[in-house]
Structure 1
């Protein structure tokens, strides 16, 4: 158990320090937005570039990992929509909003630091593959479902808008630049390599600090039942269905993945939902629920991720 706490402890202590700093008035919400922009626009793109530019293309695009990650998320999406519509009897748009919180993990701000401590350099590759699946498949699909449910527009227009947004997404740009360098086999000059590395190394601590500061001031009061359903879907159903996807694909003949990637894909699914969840839910008036779910799920994830690590590592 001490080995598990040595991994999860620094993660959640850093989140708690961000929360305390915000509550103590050392930083305000605007400061957290600035730090968040630094991570989003500088540190994480540098990390993604650094993770892929120095490796061969066949090492970067591990189709088995991306297939498992995508299938686990799509299965969670299907189960979440069924549960919210048929069992919980929620309206169509709200059902999609709640399901979004179940199947889109926080790969950059939480997943990467955890995998970095446990798996080392392969964490950058895992982050890059997660970003591809999330930005090219999961988020456009969920946005299209949300707008279709509300009657706000044709799903094709939503997908086109999401595709255009990829061209402005700094993480996608960093990943694309790294893929290009890898494809061309270009060596990086030492000065450029070290500069990119400095920014990449800043991503883990600052991102966790920002998560903590962003959670300060959020409230769950009156939304407990809905938050509990979203949290259960994200922290329990998603990782379990990802394990199911992994076992099912291997039973169908997929060659086993590297042990680090097997562990990484399950831990990625076990993370709380992505930080922009309330922003995406705001368009349809459900940002309050999304923010409450983000708070509750992030707090609960300390226990579920610790349990997942114990099961995966046996220590």
Structure 2
């Protein structure tokens, strides 16, 4: 069994375990929100911090957030015009669904398993762009659609929300420590490593808790258009990355996986806040999770990414 197959089978097994724990009543889906908050304030920031502290920073790394912003911005632009004739409620959730990726909760454990911890720095830098898109473009865009363009976007509130996110703060602190070469006691690093290691299994169990096969069939046609945008543009990006970047580049492998990631989970709280249809958001998340998992597995094995 190849390393890629091993990683995806283990990943699928842990996700399935989380789903079965929910299905048979050992853990409720509502309790997933508590686990999610725990991850966002402990293991996830720890993973961000140790990844940024240990990476050897090069100018090319700072192009990754820009690549993510351009990639997601292209999908958002297509969605903005394609869904222009839809009702605001439907247009809002579909447009937001085209714009972000589930990098931290879904991408990190798979990338770590496939390429090692050292590869996480590329995913972290990509996620900086993803965070900027989510809170700097997708959130205000959804707010604009929800208010029919009548209400001004509160940029101060959005910036405050972005900069108060524990993973984002951890990225900033890690970058600062790295750039200034600030020494960290071994005891502190060992503690952070333990927390960071726990992130992978907890995240995959959480994905299983949120997994659902209850689909909103009446909206599948509209949902399929979002998926067509994401994976159509995604495959164009995969082709460009594969042929334009060096074959032995680990950054190329990580980016190829990143552009095939499922829709970001921020669409759920955003949809709730803006009174969009949360059932459509949930259906988008679940279908994209299954499609992305299959596509990533196939692409990694087919292209021999390592």
TM-score (norm 1): 0.86
Measured after TM superposition, the shift of residue 93 of structure 1 is 5.1
Any unmatched runs of 5+ in structure 2?
A: none
Residue among 68, 71, 86 paired with 1:90: 86
- Any gaps of 5 or more consecutive residues in structure 1? none
Alignment match, 1:15: 15
More off after superposition, 164-173 vs 25-34: 25-34
Deviations 1:167-201 (A, max 9, x none): 22011111111111112201211110000000001
Question: For 1:53-82, what per-residue CA distance to the aligned partner results, in whole angstroms no more than 9, with x for missing partners?
Answer: 1234437x7133333222221112222223
Aligned partner of 2:75 in structure 1 is 76
1:108 paired residue among 91, 104, 112: 104
Cα distance change on mapping 1:108 and 1:125 into 2, 3 Å: same
Deviates more, 1:93-102 or 1:114-123: 93-102
User: What is the aligned partner in structure 2 of residue 301 from structure 1?
Assistant: 292
Say if 1:277 and 1:290, in contact at 8 Å, map to a contact too: yes
Contact 1:65 1:261 in 2 (8 A): no
> Retained in 1: the 8 A contact 2:242–2:256?
no
- Cα distance in 2 between the residues matched to 1:293 and 1:28: 21
What TM-score do you get using the length of structure 2 for normalisation?
0.89
Counterpart pick for 1:171 among 138, 152, 167: 167
* Aligned match of 1:35: 35
Structure 1 distance, partners of 2:161, 2:32, is: 23
User: After the TM superposition, which residues 125-274 of structure 1 pair with which residues of structure 2 at under 5 Å, given as runs?
Assistant: 125-151=121-147, 157-216=153-212, 218-234=214-230, 236-243=231-238, 246=241, 259-274=249-264
CA contact (8 A) 1:263 1:312 kept: no
CA distance in 2, matches of 1:30, 1:151: 29
* Range moving further from structure 2, 301-310 or 45-54: 301-310
- Structure 1, residues 26-70: CA drift from partner, whole Å, max 9, x if none? 1112332222112111111000000011234437x7133333222
CA contact (8 A) 1:75 1:241 kept: no
Corresponding pairs, count: 305
